Amino acid sequence: MRVLIIVLMTALLFAGGGNAAAGRTVVVGSKHFNEGYILAEVIAQLLEDRGFSVARKFGLGGTLVCFEALKNGQIDVYPEYSGTLATAILKLPRRVSYAELQDTLKRRFDMELLESFGFNNTYAIAVSRKLARQRELMAISDLAKFPRLRVGLSYEFLNRNDGWPGLARTYGLVVRPVGIEHGLAYQAIGEGKLDVTDVYTTDGDIKKFGLVLLEDDKHYFPQYLAAPLVRGRVNGRIIATVGELAGTITDAQMRELNAMVLLEGKSFAEVAHRFLHGAGLVTAQRARVEESKWLTLLSRTVRHLELTFIALLGGMIVAIPFGILAYRVRAISRPVMYTAGLLQTIPSIALLAFMIPLFGIGVLPAIVALFLYSLLPILRNTTAALFSIDPVLKKVSVGMGLTAQQRLRYVELPLAAPTILAGIRTAAVINIGTATLAAFIGAGGLGEPIVTGLALNDTSLILEGAIPAAILAILTEWAFEGLEKGLIPRHLLQRAAE
């Protein structure tokens, strides 16, 4: 029992940094895609310049994770889009004005949707600069005059009701579009194999391929104005500071910032600093030195091990006694197994998402989720090992006068130990793999570069997390092998292996 308390305390201690309400540190969050990281970094650096201490919870797994985290006070601010808030969060049936959106968020969630950064990241229709000049294309309505243009659209846009079907109706377009993978569309247009495609207005690729965006002159596309979404209860100075960013970034500027990261390989921090400096929002040179790669790797690895092994320890503390109980009391054996089995079938991302309303984001929910995952292997191996002990040995241990406690301590558990240890080993390796997903809920660890790498489609960044995680898994296997050799007489190990 005392051990359990210590473990919980430790877990809470580690998770303490994630609770924004507790300290004066401002916690900035971001979703896991390029623009989200850049904007969050801009906010973070601006706050730091104004003297706030800032914690970064970047790369959170999607809109819902960010929004819930903000609602629960796990983060203080993150960049969001007006259209996303209206449709995905508030599920509003009709279009609302920005002011209405601000009102609703204030009223229902006590959140401040600040004035927009100034750009609108929505769908747009793009053509090559050459074609635009030749045909004098300025607006989407100009397209109606050229029914023979080759239109290639991303599959999502092609099929969404608020995508092509509505667009064609609104503008009276009769041209027949074909579906094409979004990434390939840019290339196709660049090589002159395609005339028209759909893009996001702030895609860095627009600049790279020299495309022109046609004006949405009938205001068909909803607005996705990017803006800081702030927790209502934070210090007014924070709101004022972040508010300075209102109207500072145009669509073209955002495209350029995105391109700097995606195409030129600059870091988010560097791009954010350049922007802030250029806009005159910060004057000082960034004092923060880039951390060395090795130090970063080390701290990620340490965090990864923290997540994995605190969860594993908790799993052992719960699963081994329950395994023993299931062995002693047959009636509960099945319910216990099925419950643990059920937990195992929940996809890891879903399990992490379930944790947010209960534990917020950060280390604690990640540990809880990993803890739940480690239960089944340990539980199953514990009961299986106990049930398979030689009945003669059980009979002797009873017959010679050992109490139930003594039998467990001196006979049953030592004999079950190799199999139990094998279960713990399985759980440890599963945990190391699953813990990489914990970065989606801001728990850090080796998943961080993986999540960022996925957002940037950057394989080397993904490997920066994946390779150490794989090495960690192998080292863990070795460590357990050593542990087995140290703890268990050789002849029993051989028997367990047979």
Residues at the interface with another protein (CB under 8 A): 392-393, 395-403, 406, 410-411, 414-415, 417, 488-489, 491-492, 495
Q: Position 485: which residue type?
A: K
Closer residue to another protein in complex, CB, 358/398: 398
Q: Judged by CB, which is closer to another protein: 136, or 390?
A: 390
CA distance 334 to 441: 33
Task: Give Cβ neighbours of residue 329 (< 8 Å, ≥ 6 apart).
Answer: none
Distance in angstroms between the alpha carbons of the first and the last residue of the chain: 36
Q: Which is nearer to another protein, 379 or 417 (CB)?
A: 417
By beta-carbon proximity to another protein, the closer residue of 184 and 413 is 413
8 Å CB contact between 109 and 71: yes
22 or 483: whose CB is closer to another protein? 483
CA distances (Å), origin 426, targets 315, 338, 349, 430, 473? 12, 19, 20, 6, 10
- Smallest distance from another protein to CB 493, Å: 11
Shortest gap between Cβ of 485 and another protein (angstroms)? 14
**Smallest separation (angstroms) from another protein to the CB of 67:** 55
Any idea how long the chain is? 498
Q: Is 63 exposed, middle or buried (0-12, 13-18, 19+ CB in 10 A)?
A: middle
Closest approach, Cβ 31 to another protein, in A, equals: 54
* Closest approach of another protein to the CB of residue 399, in Å: 4
Max distance between CA atoms of the chain, in angstroms, equals 100
Shortest CB 410 distance to another protein, Å: 7
Please state the closest distance from residue 496 (CB atom) to another protein, in A: 11
Q: What span, in angstroms and rounded, lies between the C-alpha atoms of 155 and 305?
A: 41
Minimal distance, residue 319 CB to another protein, in Å: 22
**Nearer to another protein (CB atom), residue 351 or residue 417:** 417
Q: Which is nearer to another protein, 183 or 489 (CB)?
A: 489
Where in 270-415 does DSSP place strands (E)? none
Residue closer to another protein (CB basis): 124 or 389? 389
76 in Cβ contact with 26 (< 8 Å): yes
The neighbouring-strand residues paired with 153 are 179
Which residue number, 97 or 403, has a Cβ lying nearer to another protein?
403
Angle separating helix axes 268-278 and 251-262, nearest 10 degrees: 150
Three-state DSSP class for 166? helix
Instruction: Say if CB 213 and CB 206 are below 8 A apart.
Output: yes
Burial class (CB within 10 angstroms; exposed 0-12, middle 13-18, buried 19+) of 427:
buried
Q: How far is the CB of 419 from another protein (least distance, A)?
A: 13
- Closest distance between another protein and the C-beta of residue 492, in Å? 6
Q: Are strands 152-153 and 211-213 parallel, antiparallel or unpaired?
A: unpaired
Q: Where are the alpha helices (DSSP H) in 16-150?
A: 34-49, 63-71, 82-84, 98-109, 129-135
Alpha-carbon distance of 61 to 349, in angstroms, equals 9
Say how many C-beta atoms besides its own lie within 10 A of residue 107's C-beta.
9
- Of 284 and 392, which has the nearer Cβ to another protein? 392
